[in-house]
């Protein structure tokens, strides 16, 4: 009885501080928010950097958790579908790097523009596409976000320019740095440093691995890419920097991918299983957020488990759809070559095979 | 004792091999295209210390497609070099090395990535001997997989035979089987000019019989010479790379209907062996070209134009026909991809149309 009264009084006193719209029916109350210390970022040409503490609301925390778990489970489902040969070609997974795409999105607006390389499934989701559309694109079906025409590396959404297959071009990035700085373009250059370029470690490929300094005259931040709050704060800082008219800025997110470079790379010929296991057990981004939330009473273990169950179901349903949805119709092979043009004829494998092309 | 051992020469002669235990080579062994390229490079690396290989993942990873497996272990850091992901940069370094007297093999993980470096291939390599009035040769090999694979979508499926074949100063070869692959890579490395070697990822794992002649360390396939893979009388079918296999399949099917196709494996895109094609057309009076690349300004288009300019034109009983990839960026979905590359049925259809059957 006394315990119950104590619990009720805690609840009631909690109610008094919260806005009137808040309904408290649960037998347990959570904190509304909590303050966390985050790692200080290394700075290049900056007097000060992002704050070293941040406030995480329960609502945001649950949302980030759900999003990261969704990306994680979606990538693992893609792994499974690839091994079943339902996904073909190239498939570059980002499990381990969830804090990057989710943290980034948390620090920018939906109206900002984002472009990335081929490890793009996570960004496609955080930029607003559904798991259904993403998985159906991976399986090459008409319900895919690119109607099955693009595949893993070529997914697009509003203010999201893919998904691009051709990378490297180290010269090009320096050209981009130069013009962005010259014209003070509001551009955040982000390096997801997962320590390896395909099968080559950064030490074997880069004369300087301090990527956040490589913009030279462009200021830079080196960020703990496994901590979503760190990524969020750094992104907020970088975005504010750009929006204030100061020009471009660089962010190096130190992160890690559990899978190999792609599904055809086992990922253990150039790094040890011990290394992968160590990152998983000490720095997993989902685990880090979960521990923080549980330990500061922002959420309960059961509640997060419930989210896990919901996410699993969402992924299962999406995978079902992605496997059952039919392939695009053959008649559409020639569509979407040009934009805003009148229809024309497209040649097939010989002069007697013709396809119609509609914009 | 035993039946005579030897090999059947291409002109029908039986060449008997002397049974000397120390010089015994098996009549035929099965070698995959991948192994053939590996062997070819290995032999040339051994033969000439100026030869070296550079590219992404070629050394410690054994090659993205394992084509350079074992070479780094055998030859070390100085001969087999892992580069950062910087095509324009390392292609430029390779061209400079060739100008200075080395003999680099510059690997592009796929030729799609060569577009990042195409200025180096064309402007720094291909044109230099001409621009220098014959002073500066560029003995370089650019090699890697070309064309469509399976499900790798638009940016990773382009065929560059027409683009590179367009340029004076370059030699461009396109092996189909293991003998082609081994003989052409060796010729390319020994050639003092820039040679583009267009391999095919889907062919890497395919085994072919390698004759004892082809197993020899001095075996070369000459650049600029096509090979008649199958003799025929009714129609000439010309192709390069993987589609050569599809043409042979089509020929087998049509043979049952009494149509005998002469299948020519181009082996070289530039300089094109038009004479072999002409001689064949003057015999069969019909021509179909087959390629994986896009139709406009393609290899088949060039063959047709040259036939019109030469003696074979008057021997044609019907217009020449091209079978090509579909004129679209490569789609990802399987049904669309399958219909964007030339299939055996498309080749058979084109042949029958040409023969008015």
The tens digit of pLDDT for each residue in B2-54 reads 455 555 565 656 555 555 555 666 788 999 999 999 999 999 999 999 999 99
- List, for residues B278-317, the tens digit of each pLDDT value: 999 999 999 999 999 999 999 999 999 999 999 999 999 9
In a domain, A22, yes or no: no
Q: Is the pLDDT of residue A167 over 90?
A: no
pLDDT value of position A21: 46
Note whether B80 contacts A: Cβ–Cβ < 8 A.
Answer: no
- What is the percent of chain A with per-residue pLDDT over 90, rounded to a whole number? 89
pLDDT value of position B15: 59
Comparing CB atoms, the residue among A89, A330, A351 nearest residue B332 is A89
Comparing CB atoms, the residue among B151, B339, B342 nearest residue A89 is B151
The reply to whether residue B339 touches residue A269, judged by beta carbons under 8 angstroms, is no
Strands of B191-349, DSSP E: 195-199, 207-211, 227-230, 235-239, 261-265, 268-270, 287-290, 321-323
Q: Is the pLDDT of residue B88 over 70?
A: yes
Contact residues on chain B for A346, CB-CB shorter than 8 A: 326-328
Rounded to the nearest angstrom, the minimum Cα separation between A306 and chain B is 35
Q: Is the pLDDT of residue A15 over 50?
A: no
- List, for residues A42-69, the tens digit of each pLDDT value: 999 999 999 999 999 999 999 999 999 9
Which DSSP helix (H) or strand (E) runs through A252? Answer: strand A249-254
Closest B-chain CA to A85: B151
pLDDT value of position B171: 97
What's chain A's average pLDDT?
A: 93
The reply to whether residue B332 touches residue A154, judged by beta carbons under 8 angstroms, is yes
In a domain, A15, yes or no: no
Give the burial string for A109-148 (b: 16+ CB within 10 Å, else e).
Answer: eeebebebbbbbbbbbbbbebbbbbbbbbbbbbebbbbbb
The reply to whether residue A330 touches residue B57, judged by beta carbons under 8 angstroms, is no
Number of domains in chain A: 1
- List, for residues B156-195, the tens digit of each pLDDT value: 999 999 999 999 999 999 999 999 999 999 999 999 999 9
The reply to whether residue A205 touches residue B339, judged by beta carbons under 8 angstroms, is no
- List, for residues B240-286, the tens digit of each pLDDT value: 999 999 999 999 999 999 999 999 999 999 999 999 999 999 999 99
The reply to whether residue B85 touches residue A148, judged by beta carbons under 8 angstroms, is no
pLDDT value of position A7: 53
Contact residues on chain B for A349, CB-CB shorter than 8 A: 323-326, 339-343, 346
Closest B-chain CA to A336: B328
Interface of B with A in 82-101 (CB under 8 A): 82, 84-89
pLDDT value of position A4: 56
Reported ipTM: the value is: 0.84
Contact residues on chain B for A167, CB-CB shorter than 8 A: 85
Burial class (CB in 10 A: 0-12, 13-18, 19+), A1: exposed
Full domain range(s) for residue A141: 41-334
- List, for residues A221-258, the tens digit of each pLDDT value: 999 999 999 999 999 999 999 999 999 999 999 999 99
In a domain, A48, yes or no: yes
The reply to whether residue A169 touches residue B329, judged by beta carbons under 8 angstroms, is no
In a domain, A10, yes or no: no
pLDDT value of position A169: 73
**Residue B154 structure tokens:** 């638009």
In a domain, A191, yes or no: yes
Which band of pLDDT confidence, cut at 50, 70 and 90, is reported for residue B228?
very high
In a domain, A4, yes or no: no
pLDDT value of position B1: 42
Q: Is the pLDDT of residue B333 over 90?
A: yes
The reply to whether residue A334 touches residue B328, judged by beta carbons under 8 angstroms, is yes
Comparing CB atoms, the residue among B155, B331, B339 nearest residue A348 is B339
Active site residues of B: 87, 156
Lowest mean pLDDT among A24-38, A174-188, B100-114, B178-192: A24-38
pLDDT value of position B330: 98
Q: Is the pLDDT of residue B350 over 60?
A: yes
Task: Select from A23, A10, A32, A17 the least CA-distant residue to A298.
Answer: A32
Count of CB contacts below 8 A, A vs B? 165
Lowest mean pLDDT among A1-10, B105-114, B151-160: A1-10
pLDDT value of position B27: 81
Contact residues on chain A for B150, CB-CB shorter than 8 A: 88-89
In a domain, A255, yes or no: yes
Q: Is the pLDDT of residue A110 over 60?
A: yes
In a domain, A297, yes or no: yes
Beta-strand relationship, B80-82 and B14-16: unpaired
Q: How far is residue A279's CA from residue A282's CA, in Å, rounded to a whole number? A: 5
Neighbouring C-beta atoms of residue A151, cutoff 10 Å: 31
Looking at residue A171, which CATH number applies to its domain?
3.40.50.970
The reply to whether residue B336 touches residue A171, judged by beta carbons under 8 angstroms, is no
pLDDT value of position B250: 98
Rounded to the nearest angstrom, the minimum Cα separation between B18 and chain A is 46
């Amino acid at each position: 009885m006394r315990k119950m009264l104590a619990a009720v009084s805690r609840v009631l006193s909690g109610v008094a501080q919260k806005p009137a719209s808040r309904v408290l029916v649960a037998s347990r109350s959570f904190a509304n928010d909590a303050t966390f210390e985050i790692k200080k970022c290394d700075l290049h040409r900056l007097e000060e950097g992002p704050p070293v503490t941040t406030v995480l609301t329960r609502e945001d925390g649950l949302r980030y958790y759900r999003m990261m778990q969704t990306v994680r489970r979606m990538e693992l489902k893609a792994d499974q579908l690839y091994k079943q040969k339902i996904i073909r070609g190239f498939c570059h997974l980002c499990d381990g790097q969830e804090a990057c795409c989710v943290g980034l999105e948390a620090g920018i607006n939906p109206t900002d523009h984002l472009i990335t390389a081929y490890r793009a499934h996570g960004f496609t989701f955080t930029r607003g596409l559904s798991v259904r559309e993403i998985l159906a694109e991976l399986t090459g079906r008409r319900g895919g976000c690119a109607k099955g025409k693009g595949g893993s590396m070529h997914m697009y959404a509003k203010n999201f320019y893919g998904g691009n297959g051709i990378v490297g071009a180290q010269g090009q990035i320096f050209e981009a740095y130069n013009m962005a700085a010259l014209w003070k373009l509001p551009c955040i250059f982000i390096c997801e440093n997962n320590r390896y370029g395909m099968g080559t470690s950064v030490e074997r490929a880069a004369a300087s691995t301090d990527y956040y300094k490589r913009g030279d005259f462009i200021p830079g931040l080196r960020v703990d890419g496994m901590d979503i709050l760190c990524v969020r704060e750094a992104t907020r800082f970088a975005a504010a920097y750009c929006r204030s008219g100061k020009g471009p800025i660089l962010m190096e997110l130190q992160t890690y991918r559990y899978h190999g470079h792609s599904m055809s790379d086992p990922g253990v010929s150039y790094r040890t299983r011990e290394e992968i296991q160590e990152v998983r057990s000490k720095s997993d981004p989902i685990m880090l957020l979960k521990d923080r939330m549980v330990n500061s009473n922002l959420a309960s273990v059961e509640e997060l488990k419930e989210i896990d169950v919901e996410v699993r179901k969402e992924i299962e349903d999406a995978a079902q759809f992605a496997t059952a949805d039919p392939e695009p119709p053959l008649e559409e092979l020639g569509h979407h070559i040009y934009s805003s043009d009148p229809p024309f004829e497209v040649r097939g494998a010989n002069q007697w095979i013709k396809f119609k092309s509609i914009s | 004792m035993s039946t005579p051992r030897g090999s059947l020469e291409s002109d029908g002669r039986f060449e008997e091999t002397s049974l000397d235990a120390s010089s015994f080579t098996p009549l035929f062994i099965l070698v995959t295209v991948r192994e053939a390229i590996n062997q070819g490079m290995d032999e040339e690396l051994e033969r000439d210390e100026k030869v070296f290989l550079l590219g992404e993942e070629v050394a410690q990873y054994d090659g993205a497609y394992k084509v350079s497996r074992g070479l780094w272990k055998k030859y070390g850091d100085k001969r087999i070099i892992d580069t950062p992901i910087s095509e324009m940069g390392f292609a430029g370094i390779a061209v400079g090395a060739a100008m200075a007297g080395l003999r680099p093999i510059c690997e592009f993980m796929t030729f799609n990535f060569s577009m990042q470096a195409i200025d180096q291939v064309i402007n720094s390599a291909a044109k230099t001997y001409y621009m220098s009035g014959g002073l500066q040769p560029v003995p370089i090999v650019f090699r890697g997989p070309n064309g469509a694979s399976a499900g790798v979508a638009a940016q990773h499926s382009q065929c560059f035979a027409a683009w590179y074949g367009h340029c004076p100063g370059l030699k461009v070869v396109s092996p189909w089987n293991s003998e082609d692959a081994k003989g052409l890579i060796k010729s390319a490395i020994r050639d003092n000019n820039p040679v583009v070697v267009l391999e095919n990822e889907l062919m890497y794992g395919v085994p072919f019989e390698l004759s004892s002649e082809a197993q020899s360390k001095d075996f070369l396939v000459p650049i600029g010479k096509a090979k008649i893979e199958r003799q025929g009388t009714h129609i000439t079918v010309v192709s390069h790379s993987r589609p050569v296999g599809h043409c042979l399949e089509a020929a087998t099917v049509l043979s049952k209907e009494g149509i005998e196709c002469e299948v020519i494996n181009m082996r070289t895109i530039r300089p094109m062996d038009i004479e072999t094609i002409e001689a064949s057309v003057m015999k069969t009076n019909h021509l179909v070209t087959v390629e994986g690349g896009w139709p406009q300004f393609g290899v088949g288009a060039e063959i047709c134009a040259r036939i019109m300019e030469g003696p074979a034109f008057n021997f044609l009983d019907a217009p020449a026909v091209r079978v090509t990839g579909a004129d679209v960026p490569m789609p990802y979905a399987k049904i669309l991809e399958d219909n964007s590359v030339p299939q055996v049925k498309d080749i058979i259809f084109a042949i029958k149309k040409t023969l008015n059957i």
